[in-house]
Amino acid sequence: MAELDDLLNNLKVTEPPDPTPTTTPIKIGDKDYHLELSEIPYLSAFANFETKAQTQPKELVHGPIAHFDVALKGIESGFRQCFRSLPPDLAQHHALCETYEFLCIDVLGGQSLNEIIGSLKTGKNKRKAVYKPVLERKDDKAKARDTAFKLLYLILYGEFEDETKDSAKVYNAVIFVVSNPKTFKWRTRKVVRAAYEERFVVSVKQRAGLDRWEKEDAAKLAVENDGDVTTEVEYVDYGSDYSAFVNEFC
């Protein structure tokens, strides 16, 4: 009987182990990388083309790609890292977004404007947030900060069905970002505002609304900028001014 059991066990088909992710060595500009190319569609296609074109194995070499290190950090660790890695200069964020376009990265992840607005407000309910575990609150804050970059990308490169109607929605999202310094740090708020003002016509009331939240002293901004890390244990307080403020200026 024991021999029969052993025979049956040997005949059992075992599931193959999950394949471990493999990285590919590639030189971009003058820097060497080991990348998971499946996460970067353009480089994956480039590597496939180069491999098929070569008669012998050869090092993959690609020319310089603007802000590639920053783009890679956003892909691997969350798009919020992009705000931390660049100065609050809109031109450089334009270039970074162009790099994401070039690399065929789906920054928006299929999210609509309304879905992006909803993700920005993750953890908005103050009463509910009190009962969330610390790690979950950190995740909420990280998600909101990642979404702020999606909002920036949408403003710079998104297509809107109705510019007039959608600009009001985008303004509400922008004012939400700039009015919540405990979640969205100074660099984020500054760049998101600049992008909105570049893309849309800003009314006098809207500009007054945006200006209201910029009345912070330089020392406070410097301290805030130095502490721009998601690992901080801080309570997400969206404040009660936001709803009344939007009603006043929209």
42 with 125, same domain: the answer is: no
Facing residues of 31 across strands?
28
Does this model's pTM top 0.85? My answer is: no
Last residue of a domain, one of 10, 30, 64: 64
114 with 24, same domain: the answer is: no
- Inside any domain, residue 144: yes
* Residues spanned by the domain of 182: 108-249
- Inside any domain, residue 100: no
Q: Give whole-number Cα distances, 27 to 33, 39, 64, 104, in Å.
A: 6, 17, 9, 19
28 with 149, same domain: the answer is: no
- Inside any domain, residue 78: no
Please tell me the distance from the alpha carbon of residue 135 to that of residue 132, in angstroms, as a whole number: 8
Count of domains forming the chain: 2
137 with 39, same domain: the answer is: no
- Inside any domain, residue 184: yes
- pLDDT tops 90 at residue 98: yes
Range 103-110 contact pairs with CB under 8 angstroms and sequence separation of 24 or more: 103/40, 103/41, 103/42, 103/43, 103/65, 103/71, 104/40, 104/41, 104/42, 105/40, 105/41, 105/71, 105/75, 107/79, 107/149, 107/150, 107/153, 108/150, 108/153, 108/154, 108/158, 109/150
Query: Residues 116-137: pLDDT tens digits?
Result: 999 998 856 554 445 555 555 6
Quickly count helices (H) and strands (E) in the chain.
Answer: 13, 3
Query: Residues 148-190: pLDDT tens digits?
Result: 999 999 999 998 888 888 999 999 999 999 999 989 999 999 9
